Amino acid sequence: MKVAIITDSHYGFKKGSKHFHDYFELFYKNVFFPTIEERGIKTVIHMGDAFDNRKGIDFWGLDWTRRVVLEPLRKYEVYMLVGNHDIFFRNSTIINAIDLLLQEYDNVIPISSPKEFCIDGLDTLMLPWICTDNREKTDYLLKNTQAKVVFSHLELSGFVAYPGHVMKEGMDASIFKKFDRVYSGHYHTKSDDGKIYYLGNPYQMFWNDVDDTRGFHIFDTDTYELEYFKNPYNMFERVYYEDNDYKKFDTSYLEEKIVKVVVRQKSNQLKFDKFIDKILKANPLDLKVVEIIDVNDGDVDCEEISAEDTLSILDKYVEEAEFNLDKMIVKKLLRDVYKEALEIE
């Protein structure tokens, strides 16, 4: 039997941004649902963070979620794990979006507490976000379960959280050494160590996602084969300028995209202005220009230059700061404050 696995969909993202949800909809209508229909899939596993904001979702965002995702999912059996973005309290899964918003969907199995399920003869352990109120049961099942495969929403150290950043905090991955396979959501970038697999989310959401592969998987319960289906749609596009002939540059693919132009070489301002004007006529959602400043210390490799995201800047600041506090604790506190700030209405 084959099942579809998706994770970290974040419905209601950016306070229900229509631009982002139009982009998300391309994935569901043109990639996800056509593929699982064609493959005869009957079961879907969502590994957490179905919704984006722990405090709520607006009416438009909820209507979009029902119309685009939940109604088409009615014909499938859906295991829906609770992720950290789905819970109201930080240390409890008792109040969560899955239980509260999906009650009318009899095909959805909400999982806010660790549970064992047998899927077509395969014994599995499903672990939602681990916090104070479910940690004891989680520890018990990790020690005593006979399941060989885990589906989860874990924060483990040693895996790529986003491009260029490996998590140095979180649970020790050795806890899961008894299992044949562990599949997890939470980190949006794909990475694995041969046993534990972070499968990544379906689409780009932040600038550090640019050029990073996104999509979903189909898992074979008999062979453990994991087939990947790439999302061909991008929200973020990086364009390099090198005094090229702007007339030959096709800008049509930049429509409704968030665009960053990296200027490697510019000797003719008028030509450059016409290049930018051509991009603007393609109607991007947003356009930023980054100019590489020539230095005397040698050539600058533009391929190595990328805009840092906020968390990377915060981490670098802490690393370079001169104080006697535990820098890992300080970085974690700053991350928590930053994530909470993103959720403020």
- The CATH number of residue 144's host domain is 3.60.21.10
The domain boundary residue, chosen from 204, 230, 256? 230
Domain co-membership, 118 together with 152: yes
Residue 41: predicted pLDDT: 98
Residue-level pLDDT at 339: 66
Which of 42, 44, 39, 50 has its CA nearest to residue 8?
A: 50
User: How would residue 344 be classed by pLDDT, with cut points 50, 70 and 90?
Assistant: low
pTM of the model: 0.86
One domain for residues 29 and 177: yes
Q: Does residue 299 sit in the same domain as residue 322?
A: no
Same domain for 48 and 78: yes
Q: How do strand 181-185 and strand 196-198 relate by DSSP bridges?
A: parallel
Structure confidence by residue, pLDDT tens digits, 59-89: 999 999 999 999 999 999 999 999 999 999 9
Whether 301 shows a pLDDT value over 70: the answer reads: no
Give the per-residue pLDDT at 331: 81
* Residue 306 pLDDT greater than 50, yes or no: no
Residue 302 has what pLDDT? 43
Residues 256 and 314 in one domain: no
Q: Could you tell me if 271 and 293 lie in one domain?
A: yes
- In the predicted structure, residue 341 carries a pLDDT above the cut 90: no
**Mean pLDDT over residues 273-283, rounded?**
94
Average pLDDT rounded to a whole number, residues 143-157: 97
Residue where a domain terminates, one of 190, 213, 230: 230
**Which residues form the domain of 147?**
2-230
Going by the DSSP 8-state scheme, the letter that residue 292 receives in this structure is P
Looking at the predicted structure, is the pLDDT value of residue 299 above 60? no
Residue 337 pLDDT grade (very low, low, confident, very high; cuts 50, 70, 90): confident
For the segment 120-148, the average pLDDT, to the nearest whole number, is 97
Mark whether 143 and 270 lie in a shared domain. Answer: no
The answer to whether residue 303 scores a pLDDT higher than 50 is: no
pLDDT of residue 252 exceeding 70, the answer is yes
What's the average model confidence in pLDDT over 115-132? 97
**Whether 336 and 195 share a structural domain:** no
pLDDT band at residue 304 under the 50/70/90 scheme = very low
Asked if residue 9 has pLDDT above 90, the reply is yes
Residue 4 reports pLDDT greater than 80:
yes
pLDDT for the residue 165 = 87
pLDDT for residue 162: 87
**Both 71 and 166 in a single domain?**
yes
pLDDT(296) > 90: no
Tell me, yes or no, whether 297 and 221 share the same domain. Answer: no
From the list 32, 131, 44, 116, the residue with the least C-alpha distance to 86 is: 131
Is residue 241 very low, low, confident or very high in pLDDT (cuts 50, 70, 90)? very high
pLDDT at 224 over 90: yes
Same domain flag for 126 and 253: no
Q: How many angstroms separate the CA atoms of 174 and 157, rounded?
A: 10
Alpha helices in 55-155, H assignment, sequence order: 59-65, 71-73, 97-101, 135-144
The pLDDT of residue 342 is above 70? no
For residues 64 and 106, membership in a common domain is answered with yes
- Give mean pLDDT, residues 117-131: 97
Work out the average pLDDT over 310-314. Answer: 73
Going by pLDDT thresholds of 50, 70 and 90, the confidence category of residue 307 is: very low
**Cα 82 versus chain centre, distance:** 15
The kind and range of the H/E element at 331 are helix 327-342
Per the document, the length of the chain is 345
Mean pLDDT, residues 208-214 taken together: 93
pLDDT at 270 over 80: yes
Domain count, the chain: 3
